[in-house]
Amino acid sequence: MKKGGGVMKAVWIALLYVCLFGLSIYVYSTQLNGPDADLHQRLLPVEIKTVKAGTSKNELKEIVLDAGKDGDVLSIAGMQHSQGGQTMYPNGIMIDMKPYNQIIEVDEDAKTVTVQSGARWADIQEAINPYGLSLKVSQSQNIFTVGGSLSVNAHGLDIRNGGLSDTVLSMRLMNADGEILQLSTSENSELFSAVLGGYGLFGIILDVTLQLTDDELYETQTASMPYSAYPSYFKQQVQNDPDAKMHLARISIAPDSFMEDMYAITYKSAKDQNLLPEHQKLKTENLVAVPKFFLGLSRINDAGKDNFWKAQKTYTKQINGNLVSRNNVMRSDSEFMEYDNSRKTEILQEYFVPVDQFEDYIPALKTVLEANPDFNLLNVTIRYVEQNDNAVLSYAKEDMFSLVLLINQGTDAESIQATQDVVRQMIDVTLAHNGSYYLPYFGYPTKAQMKEAYPRTEEFFDLKDRFDPEHRFMNLFYEEYRP
């Protein structure tokens, strides 16, 4: 029994990475080493001309100016996790920003950090952790580049500091003429709001200065409830509690409790902050095989989904009261999420719905999903997003719950069409509840749906044409959704 108990303990430890961090990731794209560029999900093959990179602004300027002379189109890529074609353009030159990744300055007194745009969030955390500083906002995975995250206007688990764009003090942009422009809310502000969530269409983000906050020790608090009780629980136990700093929830996709049962995880300021040094060492992910196995079972059948949900629910009870640093809550890798299947792939969808609409929205979404039993939904993670309109293409027109859906689908034409049909139905339901959807993912939504979700769509494309009249910076997102 002791030996078996040890095995189960290892399983539960591994499940922590699934339950807390792993299922709200952005699906991988392949590294591009030649002219044949094919997204890892194998839904959008694109042939590009070449890949170029630079480690200095002068090298990047040379790439931009040479493209102008030769009439080449440029697209910009970080970790290449955007699924909707935002990082490539047919027969274009892709600029790989990953080598442009220096941490320029950590200002301990001002609590700021200045970084080149190819730096990953993991790099920043390693630089600021020794100072007892932490990011105000970042995605729940730390593998993305700063420039990429800003270009998709990302958000995270923090419920007190707005969106990622709210933490940007300033940034520098290289335009199609090789000029370097300073952008902030007070300097070139119109362009600033277009570049945030601008999908690389306005130029190259060179470097960014971010406002930081103090690292802090959190106590983990968990709860289970039916979906109908979640909005009031969130308002009373999370939003109205000043000690609650970070939060996420999940709703069941298991057949026995489909879109009914939920659990929530909240990180609250621990009473004894003197214990923080004991928890400040930055963690690394391990025990990849076990969560990968459990997720694999969930892909296969209903029994796998039921067992996976029960395991998650059991574990949330076990982690209640655990202590963790802010930096470690925001630090998770996603190696176990890698998925390789010759006939299937995985995509994400993300929908935003006003907090007060949530209770009516879930049954409507459930109706769509139940009418499409072959739609293989693997996970729904829920976060909170404050109202934010500092980007032209802002998705949070009021305080919203964000629902991130992980979907397993086939890569053949029939499967792609079937997924598109369901996605468009889900978006229609979301729009009917005064919601919106996240733009970086595969181009299943229609132009009309984008215009309804993003009323400033035409303004965005007009700004693109004004600030880059030669269309030097291009991607497939522009081709798909321009008016």
pLDDT band of 443, cuts 50, 70, 90: confident
At residue 7, the pLDDT reads 43
Weakest-pLDDT range from 104-118, 232-246, 340-354: 340-354
At residue 295, the pLDDT reads 73
Question: Cα separation of 93 and 450, whole Å?
Answer: 27
Question: Cα separation of 21 and 351, whole Å?
Answer: 19
In a domain, 131, yes or no: yes
Both 279 and 406 in a single domain?
Answer: yes
pLDDT band of 373, cuts 50, 70, 90: very high
Both 411 and 399 in a single domain?
Answer: yes
pLDDT band of 315, cuts 50, 70, 90: confident
In a domain, 298, yes or no: yes
Both 320 and 260 in a single domain?
Answer: yes
Report the relative pairing of strands 36-38 and 45-47 from DSSP bridges.
Answer: antiparallel
In a domain, 269, yes or no: yes
Domain end, chosen from 162, 191, 214, is at 214
Domain end, chosen from 214, 238, 269, is at 214
At residue 32, the pLDDT reads 32
In a domain, 91, yes or no: no
In a domain, 431, yes or no: yes
Both 316 and 419 in a single domain?
Answer: yes
Weakest-pLDDT range from 88-92, 210-214, 343-347: 343-347
Both 156 and 201 in a single domain?
Answer: yes
Question: Cα separation of 16 and 318, whole Å?
Answer: 10
| Overall domain count for the chain | 2
Domain containing 154 — which CATH number?
3.30.465.10
In a domain, 71, yes or no: no
- What are residue 135's phi and psi, to 5 degrees? -65, 145
CA angle 24, 385, 316 (to 5 degrees): 50
Domain containing 300 — which CATH number?
3.40.462.10
Both 295 and 336 in a single domain?
Answer: yes
Domain that holds residue 191: 103-214
pLDDT band of 358, cuts 50, 70, 90: very high
Q: What pTM does this model have?
A: 0.89
Count of Cβ atoms closer than 10 Å to residue 300 Cβ: 11
How do the residues of the chain divide into helix, strand and coil, expressed in percent and rounded to 5?
40, 25, 35
Average model confidence (pLDDT) across the chain: 88
Whole-angstrom CA distances from 443 to 93, 242, 419, 421 are: 21, 39, 11, 12
In a domain, 162, yes or no: yes
Residue 364's Cβ-count burial label (10 Å; 0-12, 13-18, 19+) is middle
Both 239 and 308 in a single domain?
Answer: yes
Domain end, chosen from 179, 194, 214, is at 214
Both 254 and 394 in a single domain?
Answer: yes
pLDDT of 344 strictly over 80: yes
Both 172 and 299 in a single domain?
Answer: no
pLDDT of 368 strictly over 90: yes
Region 298-326: mean pLDDT is 90
The 10s digit of each residue's pLDDT in 200-256 is 999 999 999 999 999 999 999 999 999 999 999 999 999 999 999 999 999 999 999
pLDDT of 38 strictly over 50: no
At residue 286, the pLDDT reads 57
Amino acid at 309: W
Both 204 and 297 in a single domain?
Answer: no
Share of the chain above pLDDT 90, in %: 72
The 10s digit of each residue's pLDDT in 18-29 is 444 444 333 333
355 DSSP β-pair partners: none
Both 359 and 241 in a single domain?
Answer: yes
**3-state class (DSSP) for residue 374:** coil
Whole-angstrom CA distances from 296 to 312, 335, 340, 467 are: 15, 14, 11, 46
Share of the chain above pLDDT 70, in %: 85
- Type and span of the H or E element at 63: helix 57-70
At residue 307, the pLDDT reads 86
349 versus 442: the higher-pLDDT residue is: 349
Both 210 and 221 in a single domain?
Answer: no
pLDDT of 363 strictly over 60: yes
In a domain, 172, yes or no: yes
